[in-house]
Amino acid sequence: MVTELQRTKELEQARDILTVEDFDSVEFWVGNAYQAAYYYQHALGFQPVAWSSLKTGNRRYASYVMQQGGVKIALSAPYSPSDEMAAHHMLHGDGAKVVGLTVRDVEKAWSEAIERGARPIIPPTEEKDDWGTVRYAVIGTYGDVVHRFVERDGYDGPYLPGYQPYKPPVELPDTGLKRIDHVVGNVDWNKMNPTVQFYHEVFGFGTFIEFTEKDISTNYSALRSKVVRNYNNKVKMPINEPAEGPRKSQIEEYVEYYHGAGVQHVALLTNDIISTVREMRRRGVEFINVPRTYYETLTSRVGEIDEEIQELAELGILVDRDDKGYLLQLFTKPIQDRPTFFFEVIQRKGAEGFGKGNFKALFESIEREQAERGNL
Ligand code: FE2
């Protein structure tokens, strides 16, 4: 059997061309930022730490910055129907617009990216306020998603210049989320390789792991996936495309309802997935249903693990092993009306993969949901 590590060696190595160091933040364009912020705080356990709105002098949009551990998510909604954000929302519904990447050098990131063929959106820009200076630039990627390169070494504020600290009416405990582990893009039929090629050529990113429809197919639907990553492995971005199956692929359903390519899920790292998932469930977060039968064969599939199988089964947590260790993961249901974006909660105990062994169990469960929506 070819292990994930062996495959990695055969695939392209990452080069540090754009000085990309890490994920910075993810910004969602939504219909109602105020209410979305309530869900992120009360259900997911983020703290609203900053905002920008009419009350802070922003005449264009309302925006709340939700933070938990090292994860920052901005939720923004426009005031005017003629705003670009309104058109985006009408087409896509709530969705991730900006995948922010911290870079060591915005000028270099921009000039190298543009020279290598990236779609320019905002050239290097410097903004200041009382907390210091941020430099950023924005380029396009798949669909209407953009990457914002951010250099924030000289900045102590809660997010970006123009945002003010925000004090929520109630304070709630967090749910143990620490950082963004990976961000996954769904693209249309036959667009995976060109998208991966874009990250190779423009970003210098390497390819990590590859899945084909043989790895990821069920009785009904199928997908293909390749993972691109930066030089230090902190930025990992799987790219999925639909594959032929007897029924509609879940990636195709996404693309149909999102009206194009977009961010499918953001995986958030925890050091204690049992308490994270227990707390999120208590607060009303809905996770995909894992069949009880999944746990009957778990030990034979992944070997000895530290956690009680009974407890994992109770919470519906999935486990997978690769040659470096194992990981625990679970996926929320879509968190908006359309069957598009969802979150993953992940705990890594050595494993560097993405849960390939869980794909089948997971997709069968997703398909039951798809069938309930009449979309299978
Ligand atoms: Fe994932």
Determine the distance separating the centroid of ligand 1 and the alpha carbon of 330, expressed in angstroms. Answer: 9
**Interatomic CA distance for residues 374 and 376, integer angstroms:** 6
375 C-alpha to ligand 1 centroid (Å): 22
Q: What is the mean pLDDT of the chain?
A: 92
How far does the centroid of ligand 1 lie from the alpha carbon of residue 130, in Å?
Answer: 38
177-373 has the same fold as 20-165: yes
350 Cα: distance to centroid of ligand 1 (angstroms): 16
CA of 103 to the centre of ligand 1 (A): 23
Does residue 9 surpass a pLDDT of 90?
no
State the DSSP H helix or E strand holding residue 296, giving kind and residue range, or none if neither: helix 293-296
- In angstroms, the CA 221 to CA 245 distance is 5
Cα-to-centroid distance, 182 and ligand 1 (Å): 7
Domain boundaries, the chain: 20-165, 177-373
Locate the DSSP E strands across the chain. 20-29, 47-52, 61-68, 71-78, 95-103, 120-129, 132-140, 146-151, 164-165, 177-186, 206-211, 222-229, 236-243, 262-270, 318-322, 325-331, 342-349
Count of CB atoms situated within 10 Å of the CB of 257: 18
Instruction: Using alpha carbons, list the distances in angstroms from residue 175 to 68, 279, 321, 346.
Output: 8, 6, 25, 13
Q: Please report which confidence band the pLDDT of residue 215 belongs to, taking 50, 70 and 90 as the band edges.
A: low
Per-residue model confidence as pLDDT tens digits over 150-178:
999 989 999 999 999 999 999 999 999 99
Residues 241-251, mean pLDDT to the nearest whole number:
85
269: CA distance to ligand 1 center in Å?
Answer: 11
* Position 283, amino acid: R
What separation in Å is there between the alpha carbon of 193 and the centre of ligand 1?
A: 19
CA of 267 to the centre of ligand 1 (A): 5
Mean pLDDT of 354-368: 75
CA–centroid distance, residue 233 to ligand 1 (Å): 15
Per-residue model confidence as pLDDT tens digits over 249-280: 889 999 999 999 999 999 999 999 999 999 99
CA of 47 to the centre of ligand 1 (A): 23
pTM of the model: 0.93
pLDDT(218) > 80: no
Task: Decide which of 3.40.50.150, 3.30.70.1350, 3.50.50.60, 3.10.180.10 is the CATH code for 20-165.
Answer: 3.10.180.10
Is residue 10 predicted with pLDDT exceeding 60?
no
Distance of CA 112 from the midpoint of ligand 1 (Å): 29
Please tell me the distance between residue 341's alpha carbon and the centre of ligand 1 in angstroms.
12
CATH 3.10.180.10 fits 177-373, yes or no: yes
